[in-house]
Amino acid sequence: MTTANEITNKLWAMANKLRGTMDASEYKNYILPFLFYRYLSENQDHYLEANHLEDFYEVTDREEQEEYLEEISKGLGYAIAPDYTWEKLVKKIETHKIKASDFQDMFDAFNTNAKRNPTEEDDFANVFSDVNLGDTRLGTSTNERAKALNDIVLMINDFAFKDDNGHDVLGDVYEYLIGQFAANAGKKGGEFYTPHEVSQILAKIVTADAHRSQEQFRVYDPAMGSGSLLLTVQKELPGGEREGSVEFFGQELNTTTYNLARMNLMMHDVNYRNMNLCRADTLDADWPYDEKEGTQIPRKFDAVVANPPYSQKWETKTIDREKDVRFKGYGVAPASKADYAFVLHGLYHLDNKGTMAIVLPHGVLFRGASEGKIRKNIIDNNLLDAVIGLPANLFFGTSIPTCILVFKGIEARQKRDVLFIDASNDFVKGKNQNKLSEDNLRTIIETYTSRKDVEKYAHVASLDEIKENDYNLNIPRYVDTFEEEEVTPLPVLAKELKETRAEIEKSTAALFEMFGELRGNSPEINEELAQFRDLLK
């Protein structure tokens, strides 16, 4: 049976042949946008057919064409002119009638038409802005670059993107490809992708209390990368497959990654009206918010999820962070480590009945000074729900062990205890990265849900216990994983030593016999061989 995974493997193998020496993290900026353009064009085809507007592609009158473009833009949030459909692009390439400038004209025309609907102009505008058609790594001449782009288009066009049951798997293929590019991009991969198994843990935790009958679930990722974590939350949500069941909010500083997230969500059939994505620095100024009579009122969410950059530097000298409402009552994270700034930003936007899960380095559990004060204030306010220690080398770009901190809104907290889980040894060894198996995932989630002590694995610590440890959350203080070494009886040990010595003597005798017959071509070599034979005696 044809699956999304099989299609992706074939597409990935072809892409590897085409990209030559170009870095995988850079090549994704061509494969993924063109894949998205095909999706948009074919999506428009379906829209025209469903609304009996198929004759749009035959219209030659400029004024009438403009009216069609306005109408399509109102329905889809974008519009593609007849000269720039995917079908026309492929035909031009196949008949050798394409010019190098046609690609730029195509993206320019798309951007112009994306701005026709002024109330939604941020959803599709500039989504292809960082596709560098002049990159010399595509080719040293204009013709070479055009050929490289032609090859990409034809490669993408070669796939039906449907499984054997006729289901559209383009969105899944897109996400698989993002994971493949991340895995092959080294350190850069961690900038835009959270391993799917880790995303699943976060998503299962924040949706654990959700109900299928809930009208709409609001989720926010303040460091969204490619948007895959947001989509995983939707997949784990009861009733998440229902159209409009989730309202997505996300923020990302890197323009390329921000565009990647927009594409990713739309290719998973997320309606642009249900996604609110912002390209900005999360820590620099607060977002998202509603404005009422000149006052910014923070948006609140049922779930906040994040895998922010670890221990990132941020500006605290030129900006008075003490006045920032997000940090009031808790403290300001140090300039050298913004980990708790991300935590407090997320808590500021967490609904009183909501859940937040964030991946961070272990240092947040025990570092002192300003971070120690923030940690104490969070615990005293009864917001911390669980600490989950993860294995090392799970993430692209870093081999350090990480942890998941789980927080709950004040109305969702029933007790004043904190669950500690040590899952640091629960992994499957991989070639480059370690993996979490289905059993590993199940164990972590079941332990989190049952909230009971498990010998050498989990412990529910009371507030008094945490205070006794001076608010230090280092997991070994609460979960004892010490294993006593088995004591070998002396007679057994003596026997093993005797057998080992006999093996060594046997091997040494064989070596001595072999080297005893060796002779070199010079006195110097023979002298060295003699010294080696003496060592073996």
* CATH code of the domain containing 13: 1.20.1260.30
Residues 46 and 129 in one domain: yes
Residues 16 and 70 in one domain: yes
Structural domain contains residue 510: yes
Residues 278 and 374 in one domain: yes
Q: Which of 164, 184, 204 is the last residue of a domain?
A: 184
Give the residue numbers spanning the domain of 532. Answer: 490-536
Residue 206 φ then ψ, to 5° = -75, -15
Number of domains in the chain: 3
Residues 449 and 518 in one domain: no
The Cα–Cα gap between 4 and 500 comes to 54
Q: Which of 184, 211, 239 is the last residue of a domain?
A: 184
Return the CATH number at 441: 3.40.50.150
Residues 313-316: contacts with CB under 8 Å, at least 24 apart: 313/337, 313/338, 314/283, 314/338, 314/341, 315/284
Q: Which of 156, 184, 212 is the last residue of a domain?
A: 184
Structural domain contains residue 484: no
* More confidently predicted of 485 and 386: 386
Question: What pLDDT is recorded for position 188?
Answer: 63
* More confidently predicted of 453 and 190: 453
Question: What pLDDT is recorded for position 514?
Answer: 58
Across the chain, mean pLDDT equals 88
Structural domain contains residue 424: yes
Residues 440 and 506 in one domain: no
Residues 177 and 199 in one domain: no
The Cα–Cα gap between 232 and 196 comes to 8
Structural domain contains residue 483: no
Question: What pLDDT is recorded for position 455?
Answer: 95
Structural domain contains residue 345: yes
Structural domain contains residue 485: no
Structural domain contains residue 254: yes
Asked if the peptide bond before residue 82 counts as cis, ω within 30 degrees of 0, the response is no
Question: What pLDDT is recorded for position 121?
Answer: 44
- Does the pLDDT value for residue 222 go beyond 50? yes
- Region of poorest pLDDT, from 15-19, 73-77, 391-395, 496-500: 496-500
Angle at 516 between CA 511 and CA 522, to 5 degrees: 120
Residues 300 and 401 in one domain: yes
Structural domain contains residue 436: yes
Q: How many helices, marked H, and strands, marked E, lie in the chain? A: 18, 11
Q: What is the pTM of this model?
A: 0.84
Residues 211 and 316 in one domain: yes
pLDDT more than 70, % of the chain: 88
What are the E-state strand segments in 399-525?
402-408, 418-422, 458-461
- Does the pLDDT value for residue 485 go beyond 60? no
* More confidently predicted of 344 and 516: 344
- Does the pLDDT value for residue 72 go beyond 80? yes
Residues 372 and 431 in one domain: yes
Residue 108: count other Cβ atoms within 10 Å of its Cβ: 13
Position 29 confidence tier, pLDDT thresholds 50, 70, 90? confident
Residues 176 and 231 in one domain: no
Nearest Cα residue to 327 out of 279, 278, 373 = 373
Residues 151 and 200 in one domain: no
Find the helix or strand (DSSP H, E) in which 317 lies. Answer: none
Beta strand 402-408 with 384-389 is antiparallel
Residues 315 and 427 in one domain: yes
Question: What pLDDT is recorded for position 44?
Answer: 94
